[in-house]
Amino acid sequence: MPPERLVYLDHAATTPLNPRVLDAMMPFLTSSYGNPSATYGLGKTSADAIAKARKTVASIIGCRPTEIVFTGAGSESINTAIKGVAFQQKKARAGNHIVTSQIEHHAVLHACQYLERFGFEVTCLPVDGHGLVDPDHVARSIRGETVLVSVMTANN
């Protein structure tokens, strides 16, 4: 049990579950836990709930439900996005260059290092004394074969 005066400063990594989210999730953690890819009733219930959640998120951020991908964690999301975009763009012959910064989350840096083994070139931009990337430096780093720029907005 956390101490009474705990000050938690890593909400960027994880945060307590909102009680409304817990209430909404309880049926899927206890009684409606079917595989959403299955054709049986319990699975269909889960699939319908995921489809509804995708629709809700899509309407909030202004995209199509098919553009929403739920993952289990930030590192999984980062790997899916960076590697997926990079490999697809390379396959389409769009380029093989990625721009990022030296202080990105390790999942970003490791994904970029992994891609270098497949012929990608990665430009890692420095940051100033306040941990900021110069936007003009980002712009100057982009070239014809750049397929992805991954620079975080905030760092915990």
Identify residue 27 by its one-letter amino acid code: P
Instruction: Give the neighbor-by-neighbor strand order of the sheet with 97-101.
Output: 121-125, 97-101, 146-150
Asked whether the CA dihedral 53, 54, 55, 61 is positive or negative, the reply is positive
- The Cα–Cα gap between 107 and 69 comes to 18
Return the residue matching tokens 């980002």. Answer: 138
- Amino acid 5: pLDDT: 83
Residue matched to tokens 């990022």: 100
Q: Are 116 and 122 in contact (CB under 8 A)?
A: yes
Question: What local confidence, expressed as pLDDT, does residue 7 receive?
Answer: 87
pLDDT digits (tens, 9 = 90+) for 43-72: 999 999 999 999 999 999 999 999 999 998
Judge whether 100 and 108 are in contact, CB under 8 Å.
yes
pLDDT at 12: 74
What pLDDT does residue 154 have?
Answer: 77
pLDDT in tens, the chain (156 residues): 566 888 888 877 788 889 999 999 999 999 988 999 999 999 999 999 999 999 999 999 999 999 999 998 889 999 999 999 999 999 999 999 999 999 999 999 999 999 999 999 999 999 999 989 999 999 999 999 999 999 998 776
Distances (CA, A) of 49 to 9, 46, 55, 110: 32, 5, 10, 33
On whether the CB atoms of residues 66 and 90 are closer than 8 A, the answer is: no
The pLDDT assigned to 125 comes to 97
pLDDT for res 11? 79
